Structure 1
Amino acid sequence: MLTKLALGGLKNRFRDYAVLFSGLVIASAVFYMFMSLATNTSFLKKNSPIGFTPFIFGFGAVLLAIITLVYIVYANSFLLSMRQRDYAMFMMLGAKGRKIAQLIFLETVAIGLLATVAGILVGMVGTTFVGQWLINTLHAPATGFSAFWLPAVLWTLGFFIVLFILSAFYNAGKLLKTPMLRLLHQAQTPNRIKQRKGIFVLQIVLGLILLAVGYYSMYAIAKIGIMAIPLALVTIVLGTYFLFNSVFVALIGLLKRNHKFAAKQLHTFTLSQLSFRIRDYTRILSVVAMLFALALGAITVGLGFTHDIPDLASQATAYDLTVASPNAATRAQISRLQDVTAKQDYTIKSDAKTVYISQQALDAHPLEIKANDGGLDTPNIKVTSHNFAEMIERYPSSFGIFIGNNRGKQMKVADAATFAKLGNAETLTTFKVKDFGQNYDTIQKIVELQSKQYPRLWSSNGDQKFMIYALVNSMFSGLAFMGFFLGIAFLGMLASTLMFKILSGANYDKSRYLMLQKIGARPRALRRSIRQEIGALFLLPGFVGIIHVLFGLQLFKTMLRAPYGHLALPFGLFIVLYALYYLATVWMYQSIVINKNLAEKA
């Protein structure tokens, strides 16, 4: 009987539960997708370019678990609010508390189990695309990668089932401790928030001052130093709280006093609803704004670092590749290089201790090196016979790439007569290409072939741009991938959390909208009011979060070439995702609070 009641309740309220169920499916799908990579240590370890990734994914798994936990708490609150009146009716009809607890347990676990299984199936499809993206981004072979990964299935099932079992016990305990009459009439319980005028004004002033201090500390980090970061963190968190608890409430109050605006349509009702909502939701709106800023900032900075990877790798050497006396296999690979912008051949000769380069050849075609004590925009230094001695003394590590198979020897310039007498001639060819990433696989094969041809080159391959690019790419691409993945999870789950927080109060608003319908308010006007109210609740934390990100990017001025140069993708994703959750919330809220029978008569 209990099973029929539980399943019947889910069936009868299928439309109401649709958004909840889809949100839980997305949450479990994201969790599975991440865990399928985080727990696949064989895949991560077999790919040497991403040696940092196991630690990155382990840390990310902990963060994702925390995000998911917060999300489930709010989803659980929404689930309880949907059914508490029905449970109270069952109790009035004589159902015992133990049976009600069993009913709650069955409903909660049933929804959780179905959503988790569906999410794992969706996650398997998503893992195929996400994994391929990671493999392509990190230039890693797909060895050991699988869309179906049993440990990830077990982790996802175990984690979500435990969460839903705990939620079921919490729901049952909370409901049984609440008096029956309170459950029946909770929607009519007044909930007014009173605040002294003096304290209210003080909060407005404090909020604006704290935000100004926080923004300035991030802007002036070069002057303030490392203390700018904790100063900004404290002041912006407190400023954000006061912003929602007082500044926005004051602005709404000013709109209400504008009689010309407030008298139009249902603006007075909408503004009153919004004023109460913002005060009631101050903590959740503040948390959502801050976490949105962190998530969006992580995505933006991560993408910024990935765009800067070629520039960071170029700091070690001015050339994309140098080749010493290539054999036939190496020459075949060289012919596959695309968009070669510069190529130069040199002849070098050596004796027991020294590698020599011709003075005439060096002056005709100067070598180029990077000043390793300069920044990203430091120009290449052209080395001729005139400044060779000075440059090799100042930047000795920059010349290792020109010694080739003569590792451990010194490098000198020889005049034409001296150079002609020397033996052991080798060729040294330098290459520059238009797009290093496009040629990554070919350059990797050339470096490997050179190492096999000249085993001593194993100790000097660190001078090649390929090795530095692979190292930098493994760190920043792995971090960027985790930041992008977790950022999207943050944004999606936090938007869902805000959605469920709003929807959990929908049952309390039924009587207000019913009263408006009975006195003649048209459904179109009510829907417009709902769109405006919920739109403000979504827009305000999203807007505040974006402002935080724009100022926060000042912290990375010295680390990123163009911190504001790649905002379209992360901000575009944020807006699209946010808009989808807003539309879903409006649709769900309207279906709860607007009486359909009266709407049809109107």
Structure 2
Amino acid sequence: MTFRQFAFNNVLRNKRLYIAYFLSSMFTVMVFFTFAIFAFHPTFSSGSINQNALLGMAVAGGIIYVFSFFFVLYSMSSFLQSRKREFGLLMMLGASNRQIRMMVFLENILIGFFATVGGILAGLVFAKVILLIAENVLIISESLDFYFPTLAIVVTFISFTFLFFCISIFVSFILRTNKLIDLIKGDRKSKGEPKASIILSILAALLLIVGYGSALYVKGEAVVFAMIPVIVVVTLGTYLLFTQLSVYVIRMLKNNKSIFWRKTNMLLLSDLSFRMKDNARTFFMVAIISTVAFSAIGSLYGFGSYLTKGVKEFNPFTLTYSPFRDDSQAIIKEDISKINAILQDEKIDAKMEAMELTYFETQEQDNTVLIVRASDYNRFAALIGEKELHPKENEAIVLGQSDTGKKVSERLMKSSILLDNGEEIQPSNVEASPVLLANNGFYVVNDKVHEQLGLPVRNDYSAVWKAQEGQTEQMIEVGRKINESDGDLQHKAFSIDYSLYEINKAYGPILFIGLFIGIVFFVSAGSFLYFRLFTSLDEEKRKLSAIAKIGLTQSELKKVVNRQIALLFFSPIVVALIHGAVALTALSRLFDYNLIVESSLVLGGFALIQIVYFLIVRFFYVKQVEREIF
């Protein structure tokens, strides 16, 4: 058997240890390959997608590529740590340091090659599905037909072959073999009782409390200024949480006899203190990476919801027409005729209402206020199913929209409406309604009262249309035709469906790219936990086998193993979910917009994925432990 055959067989015989590394590497290759398919798609060469979106995908591909380097590097270091005894046996049989390094180099090259090929093949299998998803998310007018991505294959293969080659050289170069006795003993050496500083444990709790408190206390623009200090404080607090506070809490539980001596808690807590100490850095890294993924995707999804919901709330009508102030009645009539013709061409059944907006002087100097007839207001309100208003002859109703409307409504409530006969009408109450857009708020009065207001300072005009449900595609085409029309019509008419289409078209690539990067980060974080779990599998088998000989039953074994795996998988994820929830709450305070639904969907989705991943890993892990012991 040659040396190359020896390295090849060594990989095959350790497939359990390498499978997570191989699959995770293959996944990163597949994601990078998917971006390459987008970037080199023939449809994009015609300019049918925003060039900024292509630039964003290129940047995202670069981020994934750089992250893959550190991910693979960490994976290799985990494998090398778990193979100390193997290296020791090879040295006893006469292997030199140079031969061990060459073996590690060949193994990594072999795995990297097959991971690259496997990632490209997997990308080709799912390419059409991913292109269909991208076509809908990116909102591209042309279809993304499947094509054989020769250039994408070449770029991906060369890029990742070079990446694995560089990592193989780097790992084999920095690999150091310890003394033979240390390698042979490997993980059997006594690690000593884990210790934790009380001061650092208290500091960890204080840092997290201060970080969370600051993030939840600040509002508005102050969130931006507090962001960096909060991130630094929470990151440091997270590191101390896993390295100090968790170990200290476990020690306190061990000192509590009623807890420590209960059933299998002695076994669980004794082993847990060592595991927390050994895995502290991994937990910290997984928590931070997962927090970045949660916060990034939650922020992108939340900001997209903020944009679209805001537009919908302020524009309840399908189409709104607001002419310029100096437009004559002939121009207004011609514009409305054009709009109705476009609606007719697209066969859209829409109801139209129009009103004259009259502005009057207020008691404040150089200020005017809109005063609307109740009948006009109710016609507009009926179109969108809003509550009608019926003010009496001696009252006026204040309407204010948006958050600034609160201050506007206070100002209008303090004012009064002066009639021609010298009487004054005091506003009676405030209503919130999206029926009319008026930044300074307005009054709704009885029709008879409106006739007694005298001559208005100025008159404006407003016309609205409300189309039936299920005509979104046609209304998008109406908006496009209006936007491409001659003259100034595109500046006067506003189509809500077309505006949302343009927002999603511009924002879709950002969300799509962020989602991919977040998923890569999250999958990588889960892989880190898998590495740490399975690299210590042999040690766990020996330990649990010895305990089973003194009376540990199969059900008790499963209970202990399940608890250990659950704590390993969910400790950093729970911390990351709390970090993410605080970060998204701070984001909602920045925009003064409730993100509870969006945050719950994102965090709940990732939590569900982690639970499924945990159940799969637990099944195979427990199966291997039982096979060894019972």
Range into which the TM-score falls when normalised by the shorter chain: 0.7 to 0.9
Q: Secondary structure at the match of 1:94?
A: coil
Q: Counterparts of 1:94-173 in structure 2 under 5 Å?
A: 94-143=94-143, 146=146, 148-173=148-173
User: Which stretch of the first structure deviates more once superposed, 178-187 or 456-465?
Assistant: 456-465
Amino acid at match of 2:595: P
Residue 248 of structure 2 aligns with which residue? 250
Seen in structure 2, the aligned counterparts of structure 1 residues 317 and 361 have a Cα distance that, compared at 3 Å, is same
Q: Counterparts of 1:241-280 in structure 2 under 5 Å?
A: 241-280=239-278
Q: CA deviation at 1:95?
A: 3.6
Residue 317 of structure 2 aligns with which residue? 319
Q: CA deviation at 1:536?
A: 0.8
User: Which stretch of the first structure deviates more once superposed, 144-153 or 247-256?
Assistant: 144-153
* Residue 330 of structure 1 pairs with residue 355 of structure 2: no
Seen in structure 2, the aligned counterparts of structure 1 residues 280 and 434 have a Cα distance that, compared at 3 Å, is farther
Residue 402 of structure 1 aligns with which residue? none
1:343 pairs, out of 328, 338, 352, with: 352
Residue 397 of structure 1 aligns with which residue? none
Paired with 2:405 and 2:289, the residues of 1 have a C-alpha distance of 32
Q: Secondary structure at the match of 2:224?
A: coil
Q: Counterparts of 1:176-187 in structure 2 under 5 Å?
A: 177-187=177-187
Seen in structure 2, the aligned counterparts of structure 1 residues 160 and 382 have a Cα distance that, compared at 3 Å, is closer
Kindly provide the CA deviation profile for residues 478-522 of structure 1, in whole angstroms up to 9, marking residues without a partner as x.
Answer: 332223222222111111112213333444545433433454544
Seen in structure 2, the aligned counterparts of structure 1 residues 103 and 234 have a Cα distance that, compared at 3 Å, is closer
Amino acid at match of 2:18: Y
Residue 395 of structure 1 aligns with which residue? none
Contact kept in structure 1, 2:135 and 2:144, CA below 8 Å: no
Paired with 1:311 and 1:144, the residues of 2 have a C-alpha distance of 29
Q: Counterparts of 1:68-467 in structure 2 under 5 Å?
A: 68-81=68-81, 83-143=83-143, 146=146, 148-175=148-175, 177-192=177-192, 195=195, 200-222=197-219, 226-314=224-312, 317=315, 319-322=317-320, 324-326=336-338, 330-336=342-348, 343-344=352-353, 363=376, 374=404, 379-380=433-434, 382=436, 430-433=464-467, 439-450=471-482, 454-457=485-488, 460=491, 463-466=494-497
Q: CA deviation at 1:180?
A: 3.6
Q: Secondary structure at the match of 2:597?
A: coil
Seen in structure 2, the aligned counterparts of structure 1 residues 548 and 82 have a Cα distance that, compared at 3 Å, is closer
- Using structure 1 for the length normalisation, give the TM-score: 0.77
* Residue 512 of structure 1 pairs with residue 524 of structure 2: no
Paired with 1:364 and 1:225, the residues of 2 have a C-alpha distance of 39
Paired with 1:526 and 1:364, the residues of 2 have a C-alpha distance of 72
Residue 548 of structure 1 aligns with which residue? 579
Amino acid at match of 1:124: L
1:498 pairs, out of 520, 524, 529, with: 529
Paired with 1:360 and 1:582, the residues of 2 have a C-alpha distance of 63
Residue 422 of structure 1 aligns with which residue? none
Contact kept in structure 2, 1:366 and 1:383, CA below 8 Å: no
Q: CA deviation at 1:102?
A: 3.1
Residue 576 of structure 1 aligns with which residue? 608
Contact kept in structure 2, 1:266 and 1:529, CA below 8 Å: yes
Paired with 2:604 and 2:584, the residues of 1 have a C-alpha distance of 17
Seen in structure 2, the aligned counterparts of structure 1 residues 268 and 571 have a Cα distance that, compared at 3 Å, is same
Kindly provide the CA deviation profile for residues 461-487 of structure 1, in whole angstroms up to 9, marking residues without a partner as x.
Answer: 785445543443244333322232222
Seen in structure 2, the aligned counterparts of structure 1 residues 485 and 461 have a Cα distance that, compared at 3 Å, is farther
Seen in structure 2, the aligned counterparts of structure 1 residues 167 and 269 have a Cα distance that, compared at 3 Å, is farther
Paired with 1:158 and 1:517, the residues of 2 have a C-alpha distance of 51
Seen in structure 2, the aligned counterparts of structure 1 residues 505 and 383 have a Cα distance that, compared at 3 Å, is closer
Aligned CA RMSD, in angstroms, stands at 4.0
Paired with 2:403 and 2:558, the residues of 1 have a C-alpha distance of 62
Paired with 1:496 and 1:217, the residues of 2 have a C-alpha distance of 32
Q: Secondary structure at the match of 2:596?
A: coil
Q: Secondary structure at the match of 1:455?
A: coil
Amino acid at match of 1:131: L
Contact kept in structure 1, 2:301 and 2:598, CA below 8 Å: yes
Contact kept in structure 2, 1:45 and 1:51, CA below 8 Å: no
* Residue 31 of structure 1 pairs with residue 32 of structure 2: yes
Amino acid at match of 1:11: L
Contact kept in structure 1, 2:138 and 2:509, CA below 8 Å: yes
Number of equivalent positions: 543
Paired with 1:374 and 1:120, the residues of 2 have a C-alpha distance of 53
Contact kept in structure 1, 2:48 and 2:141, CA below 8 Å: yes
Contact kept in structure 1, 2:282 and 2:529, CA below 8 Å: yes
Paired with 1:478 and 1:451, the residues of 2 have a C-alpha distance of 23
Q: CA deviation at 1:168?
A: 2.4
Contact kept in structure 2, 1:499 and 1:582, CA below 8 Å: no
Q: Secondary structure at the match of 1:572?
A: helix
Structure 2: runs of 5 or more not aligned: 321-334, 357-371, 382-398, 407-430, 443-457
Residue 354 of structure 1 aligns with which residue? none
Q: Secondary structure at the match of 2:210?
A: helix
Q: CA deviation at 1:557?
A: 2.4
Paired with 1:372 and 1:523, the residues of 2 have a C-alpha distance of 63
Q: CA deviation at 1:333?
A: 4.9
User: Which stretch of the first structure deviates more once superposed, 526-535 or 367-376?
Assistant: 367-376
Amino acid at match of 1:190: S
Kindly provide the CA deviation profile for residues 60-116 of structure 1, in whole angstroms up to 9, marking residues without a partner as x.
Answer: 233323432332123222333454433443333234444433332222111222122
Q: Secondary structure at the match of 1:123?
A: helix
Contact kept in structure 1, 2:295 and 2:583, CA below 8 Å: yes
Seen in structure 2, the aligned counterparts of structure 1 residues 41 and 176 have a Cα distance that, compared at 3 Å, is farther
Kindly provide the CA deviation profile for residues 244-293 of structure 1, in whole angstroms up to 9, marking residues without a partner as x.
Answer: 22322222223222334333444223212211221232222122212212
* Residue 59 of structure 1 pairs with residue 56 of structure 2: no
Paired with 1:370 and 1:458, the residues of 2 have a C-alpha distance of 28
Paired with 1:344 and 1:216, the residues of 2 have a C-alpha distance of 51
1:564 pairs, out of 591, 596, 600, with: 596
Seen in structure 2, the aligned counterparts of structure 1 residues 233 and 413 have a Cα distance that, compared at 3 Å, is closer
Q: Secondary structure at the match of 1:335?
A: coil
Amino acid at match of 2:202: V
Contact kept in structure 2, 1:116 and 1:157, CA below 8 Å: yes
Seen in structure 2, the aligned counterparts of structure 1 residues 331 and 586 have a Cα distance that, compared at 3 Å, is closer
Paired with 1:257 and 1:413, the residues of 2 have a C-alpha distance of 79
Q: Secondary structure at the match of 2:139?
A: coil
Contact kept in structure 1, 2:29 and 2:115, CA below 8 Å: yes
Amino acid at match of 2:124: M
Q: CA deviation at 1:186?
A: 1.3
Paired with 1:327 and 1:544, the residues of 2 have a C-alpha distance of 55
Paired with 1:446 and 1:295, the residues of 2 have a C-alpha distance of 39
Residue 533 of structure 1 aligns with which residue? 564
User: Which stretch of the first structure deviates more once superposed, 491-500 or 115-124?
Assistant: 115-124
Residue 408 of structure 1 aligns with which residue? none
Q: Secondary structure at the match of 2:487?
A: helix
Q: CA deviation at 1:215?
A: 1.3
Paired with 2:71 and 2:405, the residues of 1 have a C-alpha distance of 43
Q: CA deviation at 1:29?
A: 2.1
Residue 355 of structure 1 aligns with which residue? none
Q: Secondary structure at the match of 1:222?
A: coil
Paired with 2:183 and 2:491, the residues of 1 have a C-alpha distance of 75
Q: Secondary structure at the match of 1:565?
A: helix
Kindly provide the CA deviation profile for residues 525-553 of structure 1, in whole angstroms up to 9, marking residues without a partner as x.
Answer: 33432221121122211111111122222
Contact kept in structure 2, 1:492 and 1:577, CA below 8 Å: no
Amino acid at match of 1:205: I
Q: CA deviation at 1:239?
A: 1.6
Q: Secondary structure at the match of 1:178?
A: coil
